[in-house]
């Protein structure tokens, strides 16, 4: 449950009752594609037993594209992964600037300036070499996130006397609806971490059961949070729901969110730079293995996230675009495509239909979401 769950009430504002259905449907589809992705890691041996022959998303992609090019699939997956991770970092900077500007409304500074200040506090990230430090920061994130959700939900429940189902839209704008689809998809994306997670489980045989329960609880939490927040504020629901809180709570929650955003940044940043550094330094190029070069890669990526955050300071639109591009690809398109490619002869007719349906649905959502998100961004800048 990341910080982007805060955009779900805004998604409901533009999708109405269909948004609730989408949150449930996205959970079911993401759970399914997670299972078929892990199935691609295994092959049957001579005795008919399943053996894990692949370790990563990249390995699966390479196996599917080995006839065209041994490393083509891995390159596509790595590019998509880096895009999603970098977009996540950019969103953390955008959120940080938004939170600081709302916490200090009397200070004559723009959101972009606040984002630069947040960026300065993240400069030590270029010196992170292992996940040990990142894991400690992530533990603090979990605690802060629990506090935030508890505060927002408690306040919404105190306003239950103002709730009205009439606030939900029966008719929706098609373009706004598609942006909401991207937001909802992005809040569920976890496929890039699943191969590593399954490989490190004490009992990998329980992976499917674990996936069912985690997606079920994620769906319940997302639906409950989005619904209570939207029923509380209705048409006044803002892109980041904490902006709707009264001032005495907003400052407290904004500081918690700022802390969470800054502590969350190192994980996707570290993962993205490691992928790029590994790709560049692959082989015997000693010049690309120096600590100075690794430092340059991390510094360049850090600067890139700041520049992107400065140019696209719109949380929901950027999240919708990211969900439509990388989220849909990693969550729907690639898992279903890889599963069909590697397991075609062993799949039943219904399983083939399911995979093809998921692929078509993911493609349509991705294409339409990209068009509408870009159009929305162009209108904002226009």
266-281 and 131-158 helices, crossing angle to 10°: 150
For range 139-159, the mean pLDDT: 87
Confidence of residue 285 (pLDDT cuts 50, 70, 90): low
Query: What is the pLDDT averaged over residues 163-167?
Result: 78
**Does 209 or 246 have the greater pLDDT score?**
209
Can you give the pLDDT at residue 315?
57
**What region does 283 belong to: left with phi over 0, alpha with psi -120 to 50, or beta?**
left
CATH number of residue 92's parent domain: 1.20.1740
Torsion of the alpha carbons at 280, 282, 288 and 294, rounded to the nearest 10: 70
- pLDDT for residue 373: 66
Highest mean pLDDT pick, 36-50, 137-151, 174-188, 322-336? 36-50
Report how far Cα 199 is from the mean position of its chain's Cα atoms.
21
Structure confidence at residue 185 (pLDDT): 74
Q: For the beta carbon of residue 162, count every other beta carbon within 10 angstroms.
A: 12
Please determine, for residue 187, whether its predicted confidence score (pLDDT) is greater than 80: no
The answer to whether residues 164 and 231 touch, using CB atoms and an 8 Å cutoff, is yes
What pLDDT is attached to residue 342? Answer: 92
CA distance 378 to 382: 6
Sorting pLDDT into bands at 50, 70 and 90, what band is 39?
very high
Count CB-CB contacts under 10 A for residue 284. 7
Q: Considering the chain, what is the average pLDDT of its residues?
A: 82
Q: Higher model confidence: residue 62 or residue 365?
A: 62
Most confident of the ranges 199-203, 285-289, 317-321 = 199-203
Check whether 316 has a pLDDT greater than 60.
no
Quote the pLDDT of residue 171. 63
pLDDT at 30 over 60: yes
Query: Could you tell me if 2 and 183 are in contact, meaning their C-beta atoms sit under 8 angstroms apart?
Result: no
The model's confidence at residue 337, banded by pLDDT at 50, 70 and 90, is very high
Percent of the chain residues topping a pLDDT of 70: 88
Of 115-119, 211-215, 230-234, 249-253, highest mean pLDDT: 211-215
3-state secondary structure 166-186: HHCCCCCCHHHHHHHHHHHHH
Question: Rounded to whole angstroms, how far apart are CA atoms 135 and 335?
Answer: 27
State mean pLDDT over 108-112.
82
Return the pLDDT at 29. Answer: 92
Rounded (10°) CA dihedral 155, 159, 160, 165? -110
104 Cβ partners below 8 Å, 6+ apart? Answer: none
Q: What is the pLDDT of residue 341?
A: 92
Once rounded to an integer, what is the mean pLDDT over residues 16-31?
89
> Taking residues 193-221, what's their average pLDDT?
89
Band the pLDDT of 89: cuts 50, 70, 90.
confident
Residue 346 belongs to domain spanning: 2-381
Model confidence, pTM: 0.79
What is residue 33's predicted lDDT score, i.e. its pLDDT? Answer: 94
**Is there a contact between 333 and 363 (Cβ–Cβ < 8 Å)?**
yes
The answer to whether residue 353 scores a pLDDT higher than 90 is yes
Q: How many domains in the chain?
A: 1
CA distances for 122 relative to 95, 119, 126, 230, 267, angstroms = 14, 5, 8, 33, 12
């Amino acid at each position: 449950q990341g910080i982007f769950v805060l955009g779900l009430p805004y998604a409901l504002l533009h999708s109405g009752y269909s948004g609730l259905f989408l949150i449930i449907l996205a959970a079911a589809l993401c759970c399914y594609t997670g299972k078929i992705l892990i199935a691609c890691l295994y092959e049957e041996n001579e005795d008919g037993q399943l053996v894990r022959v692949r370790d990563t998303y990249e390995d699966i992609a390479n196996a599917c594209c080995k006839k065209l090019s041994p490393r083509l699939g891995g390159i596509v997956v790595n590019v998509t992964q880096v895009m999603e991770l970098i977009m996540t970092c950019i969103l953390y900077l955008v959120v940080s600037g938004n939170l600081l500007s709302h916490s200090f409304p009397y200070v004559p500074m723009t959101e972009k300036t606040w984002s630069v200040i947040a960026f300065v506090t993240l400069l030590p990230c270029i010196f992170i070499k292992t996940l040990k430090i990142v894991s400690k920061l992530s533990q603090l994130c979990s605690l802060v996130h629990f506090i935030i959700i508890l505060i927002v939900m408690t306040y919404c429940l105190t306003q239950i006397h103002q709730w009205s189902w009439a606030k939900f839209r029966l008719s929706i704008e098609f373009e706004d609806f598609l942006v909401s689809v991207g937001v909802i998809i992005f809040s569920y994306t976890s496929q890039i971490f699943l191969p590593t997670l399954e490989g490190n489980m004490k009992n990998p045989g329980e992976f499917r059961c674990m996936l069912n329960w985690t997606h079920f609880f994620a769906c319940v939490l997302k639906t409950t949070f989005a619904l209570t927040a939207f029923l509380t504020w209705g048409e006044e629901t803002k892109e980041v729901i904490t902006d709707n809180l009264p001032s005495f709570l907003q400052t407290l929650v904004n500081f918690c969110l700022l802390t969470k955003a800054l502590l969350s940044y190192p994980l996707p940043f570290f993962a993205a730079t490691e992928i790029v550094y590994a790709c560049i330094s692959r082989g015997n190029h000693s010049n690309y293995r120096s600590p100075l070069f690794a430092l340059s890669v991390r510094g360049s990526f850090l600067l890139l996230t700041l520049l992107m955050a400065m140019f696209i300071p719109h949380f929901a639109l950027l999240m919708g675009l990211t969900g439509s591009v990388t989220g849909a690809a990693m969550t729907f398109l690639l898992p279903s495509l890889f599963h069909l490619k590697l397991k075609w002869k062993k799949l039943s007719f219904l399983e083939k239909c399911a995979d093809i349906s998921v692929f078509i649905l993911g493609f349509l959502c991705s294409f339409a979401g990209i068009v509408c998100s870009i159009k929305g961004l162009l209108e904002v800048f226009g």
